[in-house]
C-alpha cells in the first residue's frame, strides 16, 4: 500500500511559501503523493493552481485532488486545466472528482445545486473526449494541450451514492473514499467494484482513501479549531490519531481492507508535521517490506 500526504492548503493561515516547503519535504521522503481538498466559499487555496505550483518544485511525487468539486467549474475549461497540469507535471496528476453539496459554493458561481449530478456526468463525457484529441462538437474544435498520460489524467470518483458508484464503472479509474473509516470505505469500494464488473471492465478499480491526523505537543487541542471550522463536526476532534502509535494503527487498518493508497491529512500546518509523519511512514513501509 502506498502512503500519501495532504497539503495544509485548507488550514487557515497557511502561507503559499509553507505549501511549497511542505511539498519539497514530502518529495524528499517516502510519500507517494500530495493531495488537496476543495471548497469555494472558504479561505483555502484553489486546488489546481496549488498543484501547478507544487508541480514546479517537485519531480517525483504524485499530485491528487481529493476531491475537486467538478460542477463548480465550466466543463471545457476544467478539461483544459487538467490537461495542462497533466502535461506540466509530466503525467503525475490524479484527478479525484466529486459533486460536492455545500449550497454556498454553488450559489457563489451561479450553478443550481440540484443540477450538479447532471453537470458532472456531462463533464466526465466531455473531458474524456477532449483528452482523446476529438473535437468538442461539430462547430468547436479540439482543446489542448495534448495530455501526457495515456487517455488523460487518472480519474477517481468520490461520493457515497449509488450514482457515484455507477460513475466508477462508466468513467472512473478508481474509487476515492474520502476520509471514511476503513470499514465504511471497504463497503463503498465493493459497491464500486460491482459497478466496474457490470460495465465489463477488466482488472480492479484503484482504491484510495485517507484520515486526518495531528502530531506533537497538544496536538488535539491545536487541531481542534480547524477540525470544527472546516468539517463542522465535534466528533473528529476526539477521534483523530495524535500519536505515532495511533497513526500506525490507522494506516494498518486501511491496509487490511485492501486500500491501494491512503492519504494522511494534516490538521496542523506546522512544517514539523511532515517530518513526524515521514518517520511513521518510513517505519511502516520498512515493516511491510520485511514481512513480505
Task: Please give, one letter per residue, the 3-state secondary structure of 147-205.
Answer: CCCCCCCEEEEECCCHHHHHHHHHCCCEEECCCCCHHHHHHHHHHHHHHHHHCCCCCCC
Residue spans of the domains in the chain: they are 2-291
Please answer whether residues 39 and 102 qualify as being in contact, where contact means their C-beta atoms are separated by less than 8 angstroms: yes
Q: Residue 233 has what pLDDT?
A: 86
pLDDT at 286: 67
Per residue in 115-142, pLDDT tens? Answer: 999 999 999 999 999 999 999 999 999 9
Q: Write down the pLDDT at residue 284.
A: 73
Return averaged pLDDT per consecutive 10 residues of the chain, 292 residues in all: 97 97 97 98 97 98 98 97 98 98 97 97 96 94 95 96 96 97 97 97 97 98 96 91 97 97 98 97 71 56
Mean pLDDT of the chain: 95
The confidence score (pLDDT) of residue 54 equals 98
Contacts of 126 (CB under 8 A, 6+ apart): 75, 76, 79, 136
pLDDT digits (tens, 9 = 90+) for 244-289: 999 999 999 999 999 999 999 999 999 999 999 999 998 877 666 5
Q: Which CATH number fits domain 2-291: 3.20.20.30, 3.10.20.30, 3.30.43.10, 1.10.3720.10?
A: 3.20.20.30
Amino acid at each position: 500500500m502506498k502512503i500519501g500526504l495532504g497539503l495544509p492548503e485548507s488550514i487557515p493561515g497557511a502561507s503559499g511559501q509553507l505549501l511549497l516547503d511542505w511539498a519539497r519535504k514530502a518529495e524528499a521522503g517516502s510519500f507517494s503523493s500530495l493531495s488537496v481538498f476543495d471548497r469555494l466559499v472558504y479561505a483555502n487555496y484553489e486546488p489546481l493552481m496549488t498543484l501547478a505550483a507544487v508541480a514546479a518544485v517537485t519531480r517525483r511525487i504524485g499530485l491528487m485532488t481529493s476531491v475537486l468539486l467538478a460542477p463548480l467549474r465550466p466543463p471545457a475549461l476544467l478539461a483544459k486545466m487538467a490537461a495542462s497540469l497533466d502535461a506540466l507535471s509530466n503525467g503525475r496528476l490524479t484527478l479525484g472528482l466529486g459533486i460536492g453539496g455545500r449550497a454556498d459554493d454553488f450559489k457563489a458561481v451561479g450553478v443550481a445545486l440540484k443540477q450538479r449530478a447532471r453537470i458532472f456526468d456531462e463533464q466526465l463525457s466531455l473531458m474524456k473526449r477532449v483528452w482523446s484529441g476529438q473535437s468538442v462538437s461539430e462547430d468547436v474544435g479540439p482543446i489542448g494541450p495534448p495530455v501526457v498520460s495515456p487517455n488523460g489524467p487518472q480519474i477517481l470518483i468520490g461520493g457515497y451514492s449509488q450514482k457515484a458508484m455507477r460513475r466508477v464503472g462508466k468513467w472512473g479509474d478508481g474509487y476515492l473514499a474520502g476520509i471514511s473509516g476503513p470499514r465504511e470505505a471497504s463497503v463503498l469500494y465493493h459497491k464500486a467494484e460491482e459497478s466496474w464488473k457490470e460495465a465489463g471492465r477488466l482488472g480492479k478499480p484503484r482504491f484510495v482513501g485517507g484520515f486526518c491526523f495531528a502530531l506533537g505537543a497538544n496536538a488535539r487541542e491545536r487541531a481542534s479549531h480547524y477540525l470544527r471550522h472546516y468539517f463542522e463536526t465535534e466528533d473528529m476532534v476526539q477521534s483523530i490519531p495524535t500519536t505515532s502509535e495511533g497513526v500506525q494503527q490507522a494506516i494498518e487498518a486501511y491496509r487490511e481492507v485492501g486500500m491501494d493508497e491512503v492519504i494522511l491529512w494534516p490538521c496542523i500546518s506546522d512544517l514539523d508535521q511532515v517530518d513526524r509523519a515521514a518517520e511513521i511512514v518510513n517505519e511502516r513501509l520498512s515493516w511491510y517490506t520485511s514481512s513480505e
